[in-house]
Structure 1
Amino acid sequence: MRFKPVPEPPADVETLETVYRALPTRVDDIDDCCAHLVEETPIEDREKAATWLTFLRALELAVEESGSFRRLETDSSGGAADLAALDRDRLGRAFRARVDGADAVCAALEAAVERGSTSPGSQIRQDADEALTVSEVIDTLGDDRAAEGRRSRRNRVDPERVERLLEWAVLLGLAERADDGYRVALTRE
């Protein structure tokens, strides 16, 4: 299953941890998860809290049960462990696999490295030392959709969403900001 909602990325991983830890460990601990997140975290309103809850499900940090949410705490052996849940490598894999468009955005950055120098007539810089701007990533995504024959008004790429995906990729260690754009992360923290 792929999830579409992508909240504004926070400035740091600590904010993600704060939101994660604000989730109850049992669904019946809190009556209104959205209101609870607004009260306990920097999230400003219910709509943003709902987006965060869905996104946390995508990252496999939360699970929905009986119309409510709870924190998902598992390590690779299935035991409880907060640190395993917040592992950036694991979160990066979930982000790419479960957030709609995340893998395509990361693949666009990876393809820029693989292709090397700019092809004649291409409007996309494809040098590993140069970052791709949001517009260049969008052009790559648009090319992919056109090649698949699915280009339509409904399938147009939302620049704000692409930028949020890129910023989440940076936060999760999959990409880095460079110059006036983004490139695949050259080193992992």
Structure 2
Amino acid sequence: MKVKHVPAAPDDLAFVEDAQRAVPLVPDSQDDCCARILDRTDLVARDEAATWLTFLRGLGLVERGQSGYSRVRREPDPEFLREAFLTGVFGTEDVLGVLRDADEPLTAAATFERVRDAIPEWERHKNPNTWTDIWTETVENELDWLVLLGLAAERDGGYVAAD
């Protein structure tokens, strides 16, 4: 399963561990898990916590079962997170591929233009007036995560694939 909700990248990867550890080992409801994430991190909005809960699920750090969400006993080390991000989050491989194919640094907007055809048609129909804004922000967040994970770098006002 690939998730499409990507929170803004935190300042460091320690936040991922903090958010993961906020989710209990014993399954609990989405509301309770979001409340725990809010209590144990600097997030302030429930929507942000819900995005993080879904994102952690995409990374394989949280599971959802019949009884709710629970933490997976797995350390979110950088190597694991790099692989999990590319395989568990929709569009990240396309975004990184665009950076690898580019001859110069790309802005977030230019990167979006190069991956926009990969966005499913149903996403466009779901939010016909705002899908480009939503997905431009998603690509921006994915680019910042790629930088945080060491898979990309910021250079000359844009992004490049890491060497």
TM superposition score normalised by structure 2: 0.83
Please state how far the C-alpha of 1:66 moved relative to its aligned partner.
2.5
Query: What residue number does 2:64 align with?
Result: 64
Please state how far the C-alpha of 1:181 moved relative to its aligned partner.
1.0
Query: What residue number does 1:79 align with?
Result: none
Code of the aligned partner of 1:19: A
CA distance in structure 2 between the partners assigned to 1:132 and 1:72 by the alignment: 36
Q: Is the partner of 1:89 in helix, strand or coil? A: helix
Query: What residue number does 2:21 align with?
Result: 21
CA distance in structure 2 between the partners assigned to 1:51 and 1:30 by the alignment: 11
1:155-177 deviations in Å (ceiling 9; x for gaps): 86421111011011111221111
- Does the CA contact (< 8 Å) of 1:24 and 1:30 recur in 2? no
> Given the alignment of the two structures, is residue 185 of structure 1 paired with residue 159 of structure 2, yes or no?
no
Q: Gaps (5+ residues) in structure 1?
A: 75-84, 113-125
- Does the CA contact (< 8 Å) of 1:59 and 1:91 recur in 2? yes
Please state how far the C-alpha of 1:31 moved relative to its aligned partner.
7.6
CA distance in structure 1 between the partners assigned to 2:66 and 2:29 by the alignment: 13
Structure scoring higher RCO (CA < 8 A, sep ≥ 6) equals: 2
Query: What residue number does 2:35 align with?
Result: 35
CA distance in structure 2 between the partners assigned to 1:4 and 1:169 by the alignment: 15
- Does the CA contact (< 8 Å) of 1:176 and 1:185 recur in 2? yes
CA distance in structure 2 between the partners assigned to 1:43 and 1:69 by the alignment: 19
CA distance in structure 1 between the partners assigned to 2:28 and 2:124 by the alignment: 43
CA RMSD, aligned part only?
Answer: 2.6
CA distance in structure 1 between the partners assigned to 2:71 and 2:156 by the alignment: 37
- Does the CA contact (< 8 Å) of 2:63 and 2:69 recur in 1? yes
Please state how far the C-alpha of 1:68 moved relative to its aligned partner.
2.1
CA distance change for structure 1 residues 181 and 67 in 2, over 3 Å: closer, same or farther?
Answer: farther
- Does the CA contact (< 8 Å) of 2:94 and 2:115 recur in 1? yes
CA distance in structure 1 between the partners assigned to 2:162 and 2:38 by the alignment: 32
Query: What residue number does 2:112 align with?
Result: 138
Please state how far the C-alpha of 1:28 moved relative to its aligned partner.
5.2
Query: What residue number does 2:8 align with?
Result: 8
CA distance change for structure 1 residues 59 and 30 in 2, over 3 Å: closer, same or farther?
Answer: closer
Query: What residue number does 1:93 align with?
Result: 83
Please state how far the C-alpha of 1:30 moved relative to its aligned partner.
9.9
1:44-98 deviations in Å (ceiling 9; x for gaps): 1211111100000111111112342221114xxxxxxxxxx31222211111112
Code of the aligned partner of 2:79: D
Q: Is the partner of 1:177 in helix, strand or coil? A: strand
Report the identity percentage: 38
- Does the CA contact (< 8 Å) of 1:30 and 1:36 recur in 2? no
CA distance in structure 1 between the partners assigned to 2:112 and 2:88 by the alignment: 20
Q: Is the partner of 1:176 in helix, strand or coil? A: strand
CA distance in structure 2 between the partners assigned to 1:18 and 1:98 by the alignment: 19
Code of the aligned partner of 2:83: R
TM superposition score normalised by structure 1: 0.73
The structure having more radius of gyration, on CA atoms, is 1
Aligned length: 155
Please state how far the C-alpha of 1:20 moved relative to its aligned partner.
1.5
